[in-house]
Structure 1
Amino acid sequence: MSLIMKVSETGFRYPYVIGWTGEVQEHRLQWKQHRDGETLAYVDHRRSDYALGALRLRQGQKMTGRPDFKTMNTRRQWRSMDKHLCQVCAGSAVDRDTGRIWWLLSSGYGDDGDGYTNAPPTCRACIPEAISQCSHLRRNAAVFTVAASYPYGVRGDVFLPYLPPVAPFERNALVRFTDDEIAHCIARELVVRLHDVQPAVTDGDGQWLP
């Protein structure tokens, strides 16, 4: 997939991972019988629909329509998590000097351990822009570097097996890859567990240091 960024007429860079209204797609669902029970699938199922055993939400990738800052495009979010790409510019979020990954999270993160997140990393160059453009981050942002990340689960919509998959039983639920419900949901976002989370600091010029 080529790296595409959309820029507004005023020069505002739309984050790489956000969803767009023109990318929404409707697809019929069905239950498929497996030896371990019922598994959710699209009626016209494809092997590429699944990643790590989870059925992913189908969406377009052309960034058409209007930007929807409340959602993330599933494939772009997943790709950013998997390849440690910046959620703003889609460039690498790995620090060239240390090999650690830059991650912009809410303040207080990591106080009780490494934890997990559905927020993709943010490269050092894009951190100031990301904070200035997001009201939540302006109030709560904290910058970290991370040694590694590992798949933990998904945020997705869970359906009840043996009932017609018309409406989800639960929306935006956290489902771990070890949970039985992973076979009953449509994954919207990949959730990863972070390892060795360390707070970053700034130098005298306000530049972030790992």
Structure 2
Amino acid sequence: MTLITKVSETGFRYPYVIGWTGEAQQHALRWRRHRDGDTLAYLDHRASDYAYGVLRLRQGQQMTGKPNFKTVNTRRQWRCMDKRLCQVCAQPAVDPDTGRIWWLLSSGYGDGGDGYTNAPPTCPACVPQAISQCAHLRRNAAVFTVADCSPYGVRSDLFAPHLPPLMPYEWNAIVAFDDHDVRHVLARELLMRLHDVRPAVTGADAP
């Protein structure tokens, strides 16, 4: 996948991870027999639909139509998480000097401990734009660095095996990768557990 961001006619750079109306796709689902139990699958099964053993939402990647700031593109969000890329510019969010990852989160995140998040990293240069585009962050934003992150689970649509019609009985369900129901979801966002979360030292804070 080519890492690109899209810029408006006025010069506004759209965040890399957001969804676009022209990327929506409709594909039929089915249950696929598996040695560990039935797994949710698309009717035209592809191995590339899965990551960490979880079925991911199919979407286009062309950034066409209109931007939808209330949604993310599943593959782009997943890529930013896996590759430690900035959710706005798609460039590395890892500090080259310390090896720590820059992350923009709500203030008081995890009460100083490790927790999980569906928000990908944000590089220092893109923090102001990310805050300006999110009302919640404008009220509660804080910048952190983390030593590392690891896959925790998914935000997903959760299905009950073999109960017609084939429709989710829970939307935006948080399902961990060690949960039995992880085979019964259509994943929309990857959740990462953050390790060694510390308030970032910015230029204004430096001694």
Query: Is residue 30–residue 164 contact of structure 1 (8 Å, CA) maintained in 2?
Result: no
DSSP 3-state at the match of 1:111: helix
DSSP 3-state at the match of 2:198: strand
1:1-210 matches, within 5 Å, as: 1-111=1-111, 113-164=113-164, 166-203=166-203, 206=204
Equivalent residues, number = 206
Q: Residue 201 of structure 1: CA displacement?
A: 3.1
DSSP 3-state at the match of 2:197: strand
Question: Please, which runs of 5 or more residues in structure 1 have no aligned partner?
Answer: none
Q: What is the percent sequence identity of the aligned residues?
A: 74
Once superposed, what is the RMSD of the aligned Cα atoms? 1.2
Question: Please, which runs of 5 or more residues in structure 2 have no aligned partner?
Answer: none
Q: Residue 110 of structure 1: CA displacement?
A: 2.5
For 2:25 and 2:174, how far apart are their aligned partners in 1? Answer: 23
Q: Residue 162 of structure 1: CA displacement?
A: 1.4
Q: Residue 165 of structure 1: CA displacement?
A: 5.4
What does the per-residue CA deviation read over 1:109-168, in whole Å, with 9 as the maximum and x for residues that have no partner? 021521000100000111112112222111110100000000000000000001235320
For 2:109 and 2:56, how far apart are their aligned partners in 1? Answer: 27
Tell which deviates more after alignment, 55-64 or 6-15. Answer: 6-15
- The residue identity in structure 2 corresponding to 1:53 is G
Q: Residue 202 of structure 1: CA displacement?
A: 3.2
- The residue identity in structure 2 corresponding to 1:184 is H
TM-score by length of 1: 0.95
For residues 165 and 38 of structure 1, do their structure 2 counterparts lie closer, same or farther at Cα, with a shift above 3 Å needed?
farther
Structure 1: 4+ residue segments shifted above 6 A: none
DSSP 3-state at the match of 1:202: coil
For 1:179 and 1:165, how far apart are their aligned partners in 2? Answer: 23
- The residue identity in structure 1 corresponding to 2:143 is V
Q: Residue 8 of structure 1: CA displacement?
A: 1.3
For 1:110 and 1:199, how far apart are their aligned partners in 2? Answer: 12
Query: Is residue 30–residue 165 contact of structure 1 (8 Å, CA) maintained in 2?
Result: no
Q: Residue 188 of structure 1: CA displacement?
A: 0.3
TM-score by length of 2: 0.96
For 2:61 and 2:165, how far apart are their aligned partners in 1? Answer: 25
DSSP 3-state at the match of 2:175: strand
DSSP 3-state at the match of 1:68: strand
Tell which deviates more after alignment, 70-79 or 7-16. Answer: 7-16
Query: Is residue 160–residue 169 contact of structure 2 (8 Å, CA) maintained in 1?
Result: yes
